[in-house]
Structure 1
């Protein structure tokens, strides 16, 4: 059975929760007649300092954290203005301590058992969505600068036939943010997998696992089939070379519009948003234009972008 997960047109830390902590200290003597005397041998307090409470070390650490968060939020607001966003992106909440259990979406099943789950939405009640970018054809340095300035997490699903002319670009991408940008598998040659034999599919999927591990240092746990099309052999082949899950998407972003999978044409908690590495040769705009569009939509709807790998 062939599964097609693309119903519409296809084209080629922790939450920064600023806590305000109010603390007060009072000093009193046992008798109420004045400050208690220092212990014998202890240095006497300086004049005028007898009643001043000493701040505990934890308060200093908290103050430093609050100040760091304040500066990060201010920097993000400036970056949003620099890159032409309507509003600064919302900060994602802290990821779950235990990742949610991922299961295959109803209607996306194959007859096989024990295969990697295929899903379009991560089960969560948090108002977060996940940004994913496919293939790797366009290598726009402005995208790296924009995403770093805005501190937007994202996952790239790469195909070797379009990334092999500049692996260095994706190595820079991987290191461009403190938490890193996750690089995942989109096959060697972006072929229609259900039309291939099991052996051919395995070469496409496992071959790309090898490329990513060799070039970027880590064997990816996530795989997305080209065009969202797969069959049981696809999932069997993916599992054989270490793939744990197969995220598809609920919405797709372009520089000038959004396309939606669901009937209500809206975002939902845990939705996966797809876009592509494309430029003006393919789109009505650039990669930064696309990011502006999708982030304005996400922020206006009250969602933050979280890191997919924190949940899957």
Structure 2
């Protein structure tokens, strides 16, 4: 009987050792996963973070608020959107929009931009009403229209209305802000490819978001 007890005690002790060993074992796959996790550099750049760094931004641009439920009843000729939201709007001519730098920065940062044809277009006031109507109806890409070089007259307004244009958009040149002018809520800023990155840095420094112009007027 004593021999049987000694055998049973020995078996129980051996089982305890095996169990203890299993409790502390690590699956080889789990061990590899832990090793890989230790090799990941904390704070590694995501593609979005790398793009912001490349264009000189210190972080994400402010998120634009939800657009208004109803568009503003703006004047027919618009150089500023009447809003209290801390947003600005970017507009460029189609010529600038074909610049590879502009394509890259707007694509990487997912910027909402309004495009207006102006390159190689005549000053509308030099044309008759019929000539202006043909130009505007042929150029129009949306219900917003930017008269080439910002030039227009009474015939321009009448022709634009006949072509279904909701508003003539003028905007301000980026150079005005480069000279120290501060942004205002609702500013429509016309930029070229070389000015887009400095403009975005100015927008970020002053705490503004970039919104889509067509959502507001």
**In 2: Cα distance, 1:76 partner to 1:93 partner:** 20
Could you tell me how far 1:86 is from its partner in structure 2? 4.2
Show the 5 A alignment for 1:138-287. 139-159=98-118, 162=119, 189-209=120-140, 219-249=141-171, 251-253=172-174, 258-259=175-176, 265-276=181-192, 287=193
Q: Which residue of 2 aligns with 1:52?
A: none
Pair 138,146 (structure 1): closer, same or farther in 2 beyond 3 Å: closer
Post-superposition offset of 1:138: 6.3
Displacement of 1:79:
1.9
TM-score w.r.t. the length of structure 1 is 0.51
Q: Secondary structure at the match of 1:246?
A: strand
SS of match in other structure, 2:191? strand
**Which residue is 2:207 aligned to?**
302
In structure 2, which of residues 58, 65, 74 is the aligned counterpart of residue 102 of structure 1? Answer: 74
Structure 2 match to 1:133? 92
Larger Rg: 2
| Cα shift readout 1:254-302 (whole Å, capped 9, x = no counterpart) | xxxx225xxx8221111100123xxxxxxxxxx2x42211101111111
Contact 2:97–2:103 under 8 Å retained in 1: no
Aligned residues of 1:223 and 1:246 also touching (Cα < 8 A): yes
Return the structure number with greater relative CO, CA threshold 8 A, min gap 6.
2
Contact 2:90 2:188 in 1 (8 A): yes
Which residue of 66, 84, 90 maps to 2:56? 84
Mark the runs of 5 or more structure 2 residues left unpaired by the alignment: 1-45
Instruction: Give the one of 171, 182, 195 matched to 1:290.
Output: 195
Structure 1 residue 76: deviation in Å?
3.8
Does the C-alpha gap of structure 1 residues 191 and 237 become closer, same or farther in structure 2, counting only changes over 3 Å?
Answer: same
Q: Which structure carries more helix by proportion?
A: 2
Distance 1:224 1:89, change over 3 A: same
CA contact (8 A) 1:76 1:151 kept: no
Q: For structure 1, which runs of at least 5 residues remain unmatched after alignment?
A: 1-73, 104-116, 163-188, 210-218, 277-286
Aligned to 2:19: none
| CA-CA distance at 1:82 after TM superposition | 2.6
Task: Tell me which stretches of 4 or more aligned residues in structure 1 moved more than 4 Å.
Answer: none
Once the two structures are TM-superposed, the CA of residue 75 in structure 1 deviates from its matched residue by 5.3
On the 8 A contact 2:144/2:166 being kept in 1, the answer is yes
